[in-house]
Structure 1
């Protein structure tokens, strides 16, 4: 039995902590902020996943954003494929079975592009920073589909999600006893991407067999991910014992998980947790599920080295630039090239597989 068929515990037996970050958003006093920072530290150390309340993204922004997502994914497949970009450009449309997230970990056995989700990506453009010479492939211009209000609604949500991500790094600095502005120098032209995901496909478009994968097991690449998701089951998180658990957000909450760069910074004091999406099949058809992940990845030219306070007996990771790390991850997931930098992450996947045999 491998990790993709391991037993799954219901969400009731596996709690993802809900943390109210209002003191950091609405001017709380130092004592209130200290409580939030301690809660974040505990969740990041024990699980790597959490959910946040008090983020203050207006509900109307989320409603308009999800409405235009629905409008785009409702288009005919051939029309959506017109918005595809080359594998090295992390923008535009990704059709079903065009990616394999497991390859971002360097898992050689995951040699099929079999993730059945479809997605649409937008991100930070080089033009936002005219004084910097940023690579056009990583900071590519966005491709906007001809869907009414799509660009406006997505751009508005993007700004809100970016605000939340920067708020979280401010909390991270407090939780790790770093200067309040520690992360600013690593994120002032951050390589951020918003990925909108859709897991419902028309009948007959896929084969509902036992190998169907919504999104393969993977860790996120960057610093932190801000995830809006509906409450349809499918997202699963791997615990320390090799068991998968269903996860869904509470009403009004955003799911937050740490990326590989934060694990590198903290020498795995904080973990980038393995997660996946399994298709919820009801009466032979897939129940619709949507999500939107804002990946806060850091400046492409920033070098990530273990924090001095986290080195301990020695660092598990060599220094790496954000560009090297993200480039290798994308070459895996989008172009099918195993990742040479993901040795520790890949080992965690293989250990989970062995525990379940």
Structure 2
């Protein structure tokens, strides 16, 4: 189960550190190795489109029906689209416009003032040559920001802390005179997807045979890192459908947190690793978000829900803009296997970890070793890179 650690004994720091540094790399290695064998089929693999509008119904039966579809997706591909989510089109379009404005209207000296090398939490501006791990095909430019009470429509509970437990505001924002209206548009979008993420967590609870409000107390001051991403067209466009012989690498990773909500422009880029080791190119569905299970939810469910390996490759002739929102629980939460996900006599596959410290250590690993774990942690034949927050 998951517990709030404010009134509980703290776990040894070594446990979370070890899991972040070695456990994550081991999971990625095993997933890539299994896929490389090509001895499994993709018969059950699908990325369904789920209309979640019935989940806003006062009928528990309606909400459970949506949760059942989510459960199926989480135990097969680990990915699904959602429609009927209630986030207005003007808000979705607005944040993609802000991503384009930030990348092309903000001067280089203003961007440099926001460089993430000045921020211990990986927030701020990432130039494309700062974190690229796959050459020209994966050049990207990024602006990262995280939860703050001003972005939360509820106003928060006053207990938010950064990944390391400190209280100061970690976000770095462009000045309004440099990019008028940017913060207001970001705030409107962030508030909308934060509310949606909390709603989705209730559906995840139902899908796991838990009380619908099980996670509510764990998302009162949650972790929620968002990114504005720009992928320019590659110098040498590639086939939209990757070949079966293509290397598994090119930024292959799984996400750290509970789940990710992805909004993207119409240019394809997200590719999902199927059980067979082949890549599935995610289609663009207007108005939909793509949701994927991340490592915390996989650990909580003892592996029942799949934190699926994926990557981003812009193979086309147009720029790609995307806004992933990596939703976590309150950073002072301990994550350990849920009671409904352990059979009698079964032991948990993963050790309990502290949410914030785990994410911080994963982020530290990606920056210290060039957006990946040390060379010996990943088999070069598989080409995998661990945990880089792309999309």
TM class by shorter chain equals 0.7 to 0.9
**Residues 288 and 184 of structure 1: is their aligned pair in 2 closer, same or farther, counting only changes over 3 Å?**
same
Candidates 87, 94, 108, aligned match of 2:126: 94
- Matching of residue 308 in structure 1 with residue 343 in structure 2: no
Match of 1:118 in 2: 141
Q: Deviations over 1:71-97 (max 9, x none)?
A: 111134454232113352232111113
**Residues 54 and 281 of structure 1: is their aligned pair in 2 closer, same or farther, counting only changes over 3 Å?**
closer
Q: How does 1:36-185 map to 2 (within 5 A)?
A: 36-75=66-105, 76-86=107-117, 88-99=120-131, 115-125=138-148, 131-132=158-159, 134-135=161-162, 140-145=169-174, 146-185=178-217
Contact 2:237 2:316 in 1 (8 A): no
Match of 2:363 in 1: 330
Deviation at 1:331, TM superposition (A): 1.0
Alpha-carbon RMSD across the aligned residues, in angstroms, is 3.4
What SS does the aligned partner of 2:66 have?
helix
- Matching of residue 261 in structure 1 with residue 293 in structure 2: no
Gaps of 5+ in 2: 1-31, 37-43, 239-245, 385-391
Q: Deviations over 1:38-61 (max 9, x none)?
A: 100000110110000011111111
Match of 1:10 in 2: none
What SS does the aligned partner of 2:307 have?
coil
Provide the rounded CA distance (Å) in 2 between the counterparts of 1:126 and 1:137: 17
Deviation at 1:339, TM superposition (A): 5.5
Deviation at 1:99, TM superposition (A): 2.3
Q: Deviations over 1:124-171 (max 9, x none)?
A: 137865743724867633222221110000110000010110111000
Match of 1:9 in 2: none
**Residues 159 and 74 of structure 1: is their aligned pair in 2 closer, same or farther, counting only changes over 3 Å?**
same
Provide the rounded CA distance (Å) in 2 between the counterparts of 1:185 and 1:237: 32
What SS does the aligned partner of 2:184 have?
helix
Q: How does 1:194-213 map to 2 (within 5 A)?
A: 194-200=226-232
Provide the rounded CA distance (Å) in 1 between the counterparts of 2:217 and 2:381: 36
**Residues 65 and 322 of structure 1: is their aligned pair in 2 closer, same or farther, counting only changes over 3 Å?**
same
Provide the rounded CA distance (Å) in 2 between the counterparts of 1:353 and 1:314: 32
Gaps of 5+ in 1: 7-12, 102-109
What SS does the aligned partner of 2:329 have?
coil
Contact 2:293 2:306 in 1 (8 A): yes
Deviation at 1:214, TM superposition (A): 11
Match of 1:104 in 2: none
- Length-normalised TM-score, structure 1: 0.79
Q: Deviations over 1:266-324 (max 9, x none)?
A: 01100111110112144xxxx21010011111111100001122223321100001022
- Length-normalised TM-score, structure 2: 0.73
Q: Deviations over 1:175-220 (max 9, x none)?
A: 101011111122211111111110017xxxx875999x99711111
